[in-house]
A = this chain, B = another copy of it.
Amino acid sequence: MKIGQRYTEVRKKIFTAIEKMDKPVSAQEIYDYIKQNYEEVDLASIYRNLELMNKSDAVNVILFGEGKKRYELKNMKGHHHHLFCEGCGDIKDIEMKEENLIKNVKNKEGFVIKKHNLEFFGLCPNCQ
């Protein structure tokens, strides 16, 4: 979990922001949070660091089709999935074990589940 090579103030703030907000957050939300609690950090720096944090596996990128990415700290919770409300955008963690997850998750958290997306990422034979 080493990001870049220097432990900067900006990086500390970004880590703390994501941790405190405790849900998948967008770059803009991180920006807003930092602005309110510390001295402002440039959005471009936030994007650059999120990119680094993702490459170095410090954060996960989570997608709900809102037109932007959300980020979550990787070391905080174990591997898990999400439930996204298409009405209000509320997000819930799903920490059930993966066998039969897709069946068992029905009505978890009182949600009425309409669909799910499951995508795998890796490298194809040519790119390995």
Contact = CB atoms under 8 A, between A and B. Distances in A.
Contacts of A78: none
Copies in the complex: 2
Given A63-B65, A102-B98, A116 B121 contact: yes
A58 B126 CA distance: 33
Interface in A67-124: 69, 81-88, 90, 92, 94, 98-103, 105, 108-124
A37 interface: no
A64 interface: yes
B118 A118 contact: yes
Contact of A112 (B64, B88, B117, B122): B122
A94 B108 CA distance: 25
A62 interface: yes
In this complex, which of A87, A92, A101, A118 has the most chain B Cβ atoms within 10 angstroms of its Cβ? A118
A24 to B, nearest CB: 10
Contact of A99 (B103, B115, B120): B103
Given A62-B119, A85-B124, A110-B124, 16 more contacts: A61-B65, A64-B121, A81-B119, A82-B120, A85-B126, A85-B127, A87-B126, A87-B127, A88-B124, A98-B103, A99-B100, A99-B103, A113-B121, A116-B119, A116-B120, A117-B117
